[in-house]
Amino acid sequence: MSMVDIINKKRLGNVLTKDELREAFLGYDRGEIPDYQMSSLLMAICIQGMTDEEIYHLTDIFIHSGDVLDLSHVSGISVDKHSTGGVGDKTTLIIASIAASLGVIVPKMSGRGLGHTGGTIDKLESIPGFCVDLTEEEFIHQLNSIGAAVISQTKNLAPLDKKIYALRDVTGTVESIPLIATSIMSKKIASGADNILIDIKVGSGALLKNQEDALEISRIMKMIGKYYQKDVETMITDMSVPLGTSIGNSLEILEVIKILRNEENNYLVTLSKELASKMVQLAFKKEKIVADQMVEDSLKSGKAYQKFLEIIAAQGGDLSKIYVSPYTQEVSSTKSGCITGIDAYRFGKLSVELGAGRKTKEDTIDPGVGIVLHKQVGDYVQVGDTLCTLYLKENSNPISEDITSYFTFS
């Protein structure tokens, strides 16, 4: 069957066989199928969805497009964590540090930004010298020596997903439950962890906008995990407002440092503690109350922060050289009242416009740009109060849009 026939079959809502999926996706991986045809197939999948059987098949194709990591040489119990994506989501860097400081092995293979949502790898690459491309031997050695490593998809681990991921980012095919589940789970299975924790974001700033979609993707991910004999747990968490106070790569790294040094106390901190506790529960089968206390102790004692510094140093990063743009624009409120909402989606799109994300596959991210929010939901503001600071590229024009409209007031 030709690629056009495969596209039309899915466009009409029919089920693709494994051979048809393999022909299309592996053909794209080999360079035989052009971007525009694969984009058409991805759009047809977005519109028509996929059956569980199709999802099984596509996940398997993604996994076996490359190698599967063997972590049998790593001492300890491993727990991998992944988020479905959100605005200002830097939880991975916080909870990996906490969990590893408590003895959990954290083999983390992360992605780049997707659509209006940020990516952990982009954040880490804002740290000068930080290497996200470790060999399998280096990855295993770091897991054995310090208990955690955060890497990009290697050329040999689910390489097909890496190509499809980049194409989805710029073709309006990001928000597809089957494609999100297949992308995440193929990476998680290929990276070899014993246990997997998925943070399913739902809300205006997430790829998933409603609870129904979140429950469906949770079902699919657990189904895939069971098929591959992995213990998969999910947590459905709120992404209706930006997560934390910073949006943008270097700015988010600086926020992670503040949290690990116990200098922040907000929803992001609370969520990170909950996720880290769940990782401890998965690894050591601890009661929640015990795991919660272990997480608190790790943060208060500074163990989590020290582990973060170990991870950064092990992968060559130099936090002293992190760059934040000196070109700023203060945004003053044009309204008075109590803030009842902050539009995470619009702030995510704004961060891309500033240069913190990509519009095309070829775009280069500026690590120093982004947004810092000075007001949160529940704060009362008056006209003229500073709502946020924009960090701009050199020689860029100021943002003329009324950013106050991103906030809801009562």
- The H or E element spanning position 327 is strand 327-332
Q: Catalytic residue, from 161, 169, 194, 292: name it.
A: 161
Q: What is the CA radius of gyration of the chain?
A: 21
- Burial (CB count within 10 angstroms: exposed 0-12, middle 13-18, buried 19+), residue 72: exposed
Q: What is the dihedral of CA 133, 308, 235, 252, to 10 degrees?
A: -80
Q: Is 161 a catalytic residue?
A: yes
Q: Is 168 a catalytic residue?
A: yes
Contacts of residue 204, defined as CB under 8 A and 6 or more positions apart, other chains included, come to 239, 240, 343, 344, 345
The strand pair at 195-202 and 231-238 is best described as: parallel
Q: Catalytic residue, from 82, 112, 123, 273: name it.
A: 82
d(CA 186, CA 181): 8
Q: In what order do the strands lie in the sheet with 407-409?
A: 380-381, 337-342, 407-409
Pick the closest to residue 245 from 403, 391, 62, 388 (CA basis). 388
Q: Catalytic residue, from 183, 186, 240, 298: name it.
A: 183
Q: Is 183 a catalytic residue?
A: yes
Residue type at 231 in one-letter notation: D
d(CA 216, CA 354): 34
d(CA 231, CA 115): 29
- Burial (CB count within 10 angstroms: exposed 0-12, middle 13-18, buried 19+), residue 39: middle
d(CA 388, CA 281): 37
Longest dimension (CA), the chain: 64
- Burial (CB count within 10 angstroms: exposed 0-12, middle 13-18, buried 19+), residue 158: buried
The strand pair at 148-152 and 106-110 is best described as: parallel
Tell me the two tokens of residue 3. 């690629």
Q: Is 163 a catalytic residue?
A: no
Q: Catalytic residue, from 112, 123, 163, 168: name it.
A: 168
Q: Catalytic residue, from 123, 163, 187, 188: name it.
A: 187
Catalytic residues: 82, 161, 168, 183, 187
